[in-house]
Amino acid sequence: MDNFYKELGKRINYYRKASGETLEQLGKKIGVGKSTIRKYEKGMIKVSHDRLEQIAKALDVDVSLLYGEEISNDVVDVPLYGSISCGDGAVIFEEKEGYVTSPKDWVDKGLYFYLTAQGDSMIGAKIHEGDLLLIQRTEEVENGEIAAVVVENECVLKRVYRDNGSFTLVSENPNYKPIHFNPSTDKNIRIIGKLKKAITQF
C-alpha cells in the first residue's frame, strides 16, 4: 500500500489512542469490525474521504487533523467508473459509481479514472479481483505496458505488445489466450488508458 495511506493510518492510530477508544469501540461507532480499523491504521487498505469523516466525527477531531496539515490540500477525488474485466470481458459502465480520494501526486498529469478489477487473468501482475485500478486516459501505450482496452463494447485489462502496426493483448495467466488485432481494420477494439497503479482491497 502507498506511503500516503500508511501515514494516514498512523494519524488515525494516534488520535484513536488519544481519545481513549479501542479498536472495537471505534469500529462499532462507524459500523466496521476492529480488524478493519487495524488495517486502516497499518495503511493496508485505502480510506475514502467519507469514511475518514466518520472516523473524525467518532474521535471528535477535525478531519484535517487526520489528513495532516502538510497534506490536507494534496488529495483529490478521482471518478470511479464501474468495472473492468480481467477475464473474458465485462460491459463498461458509462456512469460514475463514485469517487476515490487519492494523493494528487498520483494524478499530476493528464486525465485519470478508477476501474474495479474482475476475474483472474492478471494475477501474474499481482492484480486480483476487487482491486482498484488507477487508469490514465490515453490511446498511446509503450510496448509491454498494461492497458485498459475496449473490445466490442467490453473492457479488458491486458499487457499490450505492438508488431508492425498490429497489437497483441496478453494476460498474466496462462489459462487465457492472447488477443490479436489491427487498429486500422478492427474498429471495435481501442485502447482507452494505461494502468498507473493497482490498489489491493482486503
Catalytic residue among 158, 166, 177, 196: 158
End-to-end CA distance of the chain: 11
- With b for 16 or more beta-carbon neighbours within 10 A and e for fewer, the 23-49 pattern comes to beebbeebebeeebbebbbebeebbee
Contact yes or no for 128/141 (Cβ under 8 A): no
Helix, coil or strand: residue 139? coil
Catalytic residue among 46, 121, 171, 194: 121
- Does the annotation mark 39 as catalytic? no
d(CA 63, CA 166): 50
Query: What one-letter code names the amino acid at 197?
Result: K
Q: Tell me which H or E stretch contains 93.
A: none
- Does the annotation mark 187 as catalytic? no
Active site residues: 121, 158
